[in-house]
Structure 1
Amino acid sequence: MRLGTLGSGIALATAMVALSAGCSSPLSDGPSSAEPSASTPARLRPDSLSAKIGTEVEKGFGYSVRDATDAGRTVDMRHVDLWRFCLESKGGQPKTVDLGAVPYGEKCPDHWDAHIPEIRTPRVTGKKFENAYQSLLEKGYDSLSIDVLYGSEGVVEQADMPRVDGEVCKQSPKPGAPFDPSENVKLYVAMGNCPKR
């Protein structure tokens, strides 16, 4: 992705908002010990993608971000705090940089598009929704590629995810299926616990 003048401005504004907000999790309705409060500055890991974006923004650079491996995952900028900065190269436009990242839990590759073992869909059936959703995000799934069907309401919009509270009764693709960046994950969530079979 190449950023023009408008794109650089949007990227700068987005990064500043994300950094000033402390990259808080949209899954929480209130403060938790893992999230910084309004009076506490966010503590970023030195290798965090958020920190690297902030550094580039302070230098007046635009940036693009992508998976540093050959997995083809979309770096989820809504959950940038789950990604580790690994690689950078000069961008295609003046004063731009391309950043490569992987989810925490994976080692950084030593070069762009490095081959990694096949990513498998984790088993999230039977888990509370919030834990299941977090497991998928930590594997590198993009939040916009996770469809949540809640009770009888149908697909839940991204903005309404914090109100989902229940157990994942079914998932697609099945646990252990190979990661496919073109395929959405579907989580079928009960309002409460799944019905006993």
Structure 2
Amino acid sequence: MRVRERRGRAALAGVAVVAAVASGCGIRTTSVPVDAGAAPSRLPCSVAGADLASRAQQQAVPVRVYLVCASGLEAVHRAVPETGDKNPADSRVAVARALLNQLLAEPSATEREAGFSTSVQGPLAVSAGREGDPEGALRLSRQPEDLPAAALSQIVCTYAENSATADGGTVLLGGPGPYPVRRYACTAQLRERPDSAAPTRPAS
């Protein structure tokens, strides 16, 4: 019995030592799970100027498009051909198509190394709004709400930032169905969590 008692006391002493060490290291024990957020990413999420220059040599007008990086949205610089359209409505659609093509394109090798990817997948096209739509509306070939959340977030933020496709810092988007267009906003929360639903409100 005395041997067992001595062993029990030794075990309790060991537990006390471990607790003291943990306390000395500033570690608090808790029975409640702690959500510390996403683990920090080591991806740079930035592209060197050399890659931008190589794109600019082939194309003309500088633009910014939003890609996915480190579970968020980050803007990258691209360049697209000049539309040459003098009609604002025609120019808006031409720019919208050029921007969508950039989102559909596979990121460059430099962008991939920096951690960029795109969730926008084809087939997907964009056209002008139909009769009865508010001025500045754009229609996608798929209903916006049917797209993956991150893909729609990329489109919304890319369009909402470009002066040719934006409407007061938002974008008016609809689909091919008989549904009215809605106004989508690119918020800081959406850029941080593109997998969440894009905030919308009626077009009017």
For normalisation by structure 2, the TM-score amounts to 0.28
Larger relative contact order (Cα-Cα within 8 Å, sequence gap ≥ 6): 1
Larger of the two Rg values belongs to structure: 2
| More helix by percentage | 2
For normalisation by structure 1, the TM-score amounts to 0.29
